[in-house]
Structure 1
Amino acid sequence: MDGVVQESSLALTLGRVAEPELQANIEEQHPRNLGRIHTRLSAFKVYSLDQEVEESLLGVCTRLKLCTSFDPWKFKKTLGFSNLERLCLLKRVMDAHVLPNLSIAAQQQMARYRQTNVQVYDEDIDSTHAIQFKNEESNIFRDGWEQHFVDRRRLVSLEVVGLYWQNNKQQFVFPILKRVQRSPSPPRAVNQE
């Protein structure tokens, strides 16, 4: 596969019932580790045709199924011009995946002031930044977003970023998922006097 590592999911299934605790633990893991885990699990038991037929007759399946469609990014955003000043996220998704999982102090700040500071881990360059998180008509990253992400990472419109909430560390995880192709700067004219 020419050195390309596919992302994998390790959802354990017995028949067609997924174990929710396992899936939740997998989503908390760093997605780049999944290729190594995929390789290790691939080396597990090889089933003979007789074993597969026997399980089929019993109506069970003990085979681990590897899913290659694992996508941890609960929020994907194609940046528009307004997102370069503040990042707006879907309120219904934030209300379901993030707000209930904030620390008690952060939940109290959101209830009282409709804002709190959150940590955002930039996994591309291994740095963490405090960003003001506001709960308005939509959920918004405001103070710190432009400085720590737009300016420093040189984000432009039409680039795609991702986010997911990491409960155990009480932080968002952020990468740039797709960059816009930029034309090279024209060479500067040299004054030859």
Structure 2
Amino acid sequence: MASLADAESLIVEKAAKYKRTRKGKGEDSGCDTEGVSTELVLLLDPYKIKKKLKQGDLGHLSRLLIGRDFVTSHLLRWMIEEMVRQVEGGKGADVIVRDVDTCSEHRLVFVFWASSGSYVLKGGWIKEFVKRRGLVTGDEVGIYWDPSASKFHFSLLHKAN
């Protein structure tokens, strides 16, 4: 039987695929969509962590900073004990981050930085996400942990103007 996280993941992936395939088709087909919303609204939003990117997330440190409160309430309780020990011990844990929008997977390191009191995703963040996706300051991203697949799911929720 599929888990709730699997169902949420499937809905989010289908919504992202629909957006990609429908982009610009309203004008091309001659359909007047003014006043009609085709935006998919999920009953259960899987993206428990939503963050507007700051310059520090896009710079030379090559890491996405995630606040401690978000991680403790939405991530660590769903991770296996050994992974939590690695993350909190400072060594970090290798994790897969699935980019739901592009259906690609990337290996990053999830670790607690005692110096800032925050958690970070590092080790390829700039190359695999910032540069590849063209992320800029003000973009809003969403992240959640899928306990059944033991991986993060990432999506660009809103592009900055």
- In the TM superposition, residue 164 of structure 1 has moved relative to its aligned partner by 0.7
Match of 2:102 among 115, 119, 125: 125
Match of 1:78 among 44, 47, 52: 52
Distance 1:135 1:174, change over 3 A: same
- In the TM superposition, residue 102 of structure 1 has moved relative to its aligned partner by 2.1
CA contact (8 A) 2:96 2:152 kept: yes
Quote the residue 1:186 is aligned against. none
What is the TM-score when the length of structure 2 is the normalising length?
Answer: 0.69
- Secondary structure at the counterpart of residue 124 of structure 1: coil
Higher RCO (CA-CA < 8 Å; seq separation 6+) = 2
Quote the residue 1:147 is aligned against. 127
Match of 2:64 among 75, 79, 87: 87
Quote the residue 1:116 is aligned against. 93
Distance 1:68 1:96, change over 3 A: closer
Which stretch of structure 1 is more off in the superposition, 67-76 or 146-155?
67-76
- Secondary structure at the counterpart of residue 70 of structure 2: helix
* 1:1-193 matched pairs, under 5 angstroms: 25-29=3-7, 30=9, 31-32=11-12, 69-84=43-58, 85-136=62-113, 137-181=117-161
Q: Give the Cα separation in 1 of the matches to 2:101 and 2:42.
A: 22
More strand by share: 2
Q: Give the Cα separation in 2 of the matches to 1:114 and 1:95.
A: 18
Distance 1:151 1:105, change over 3 A: same
Unmatched 5+ stretches in structure 2: 16-40
Q: Give the Cα separation in 1 of the matches to 2:151 and 2:89.
A: 21
Distance 1:176 1:107, change over 3 A: same
Unmatched 5+ stretches in structure 1: 1-24, 36-66, 182-193
Distance 1:103 1:180, change over 3 A: same
- In the TM superposition, residue 165 of structure 1 has moved relative to its aligned partner by 0.7
Distance 1:127 1:153, change over 3 A: same
Pairwise CA RMSD: 2.4
Distance 1:115 1:33, change over 3 A: closer
What is the TM-score when the length of structure 1 is the normalising length?
Answer: 0.58
Cα deviation, 1:32-81, whole Å, max 9, x if unaligned, reads 4899xxxxxxxxxxxxxxxxxxxxxxxxxxxxxxx954321101010111
